[in-house]
Amino acid sequence: MKIYIQKKKIDFPEKLKEFSSLNKFSGSINLFLGKVRNKSKYGLVNFIEIENYKKMSLSQITNIALKAVKKWTLDDILVIHRYGKIAAGEDIVLILVASKHRKAGLDAIKFVINWLKIKATFWKKEITTNGEFWVEQSSDDLQIMRR
């Protein structure tokens, strides 16, 4: 299990290759790659700025990843979340899960990304053509967490 919170860009192909090699006997490798959208309700997005309290974020993500490993009996999990200034079209978050069966891996990814969207200590500001706006959780995201 590896958790990273970083400013640098995510080297997705390299991370996938590495993770797949480490987990070559798992039945499936599932992934989620989150990107910065170029449009929002505030206008066209130039970039976002993500702030976090790194020590707390790292602890929280480690705990939720451990919970996912136990709940779905995962072989391995990797979570990378970026912070700082991130341009539209760039990657924000990568989750890789190795499991014996695809359903467990897919369920675990859904659980982790929904948790990251709602409960992780990251604050996101969109810098758009219409100004700067702090982003709040959507009602859809909150509904998902209640399930």
For residue 85, what pLDDT is reported?
98
User: How far is residue 138's CA from residue 123's CA, in Å, rounded to a whole number?
Assistant: 14
Higher-confidence residue: 33 or 143? 33
Distances (CA, A) of 18 to 5, 89, 143: 18, 23, 35
For residue 24, what pLDDT is reported?
97
For residue 147, what pLDDT is reported?
55
Digit-coded pLDDT (tens) for 122-132: 999 999 999 99
Sequence-separated (6 or more) residues with CB below 8 Å from residue 143 = none
Q: Which residues share a beta bridge with 146? A: none
111 touches 68 (CB < 8 A): yes
For residue 146, what pLDDT is reported?
54
Higher-confidence residue: 117 or 24? 24
Digit-coded pLDDT (tens) for 52-109: 999 999 999 999 999 999 999 999 999 999 999 999 999 999 999 999 999 999 999 9
Confidence check: pLDDT of 139 > 90: no
Average pLDDT, the chain: 94
Confidence check: pLDDT of 135 > 70: yes
Confidence check: pLDDT of 141 > 90: no
For residue 136, what pLDDT is reported?
83
- Domains of the chain and any CATH numbers: 2-146 (3.90.1170.40)
pTM score of the predicted model? 0.92
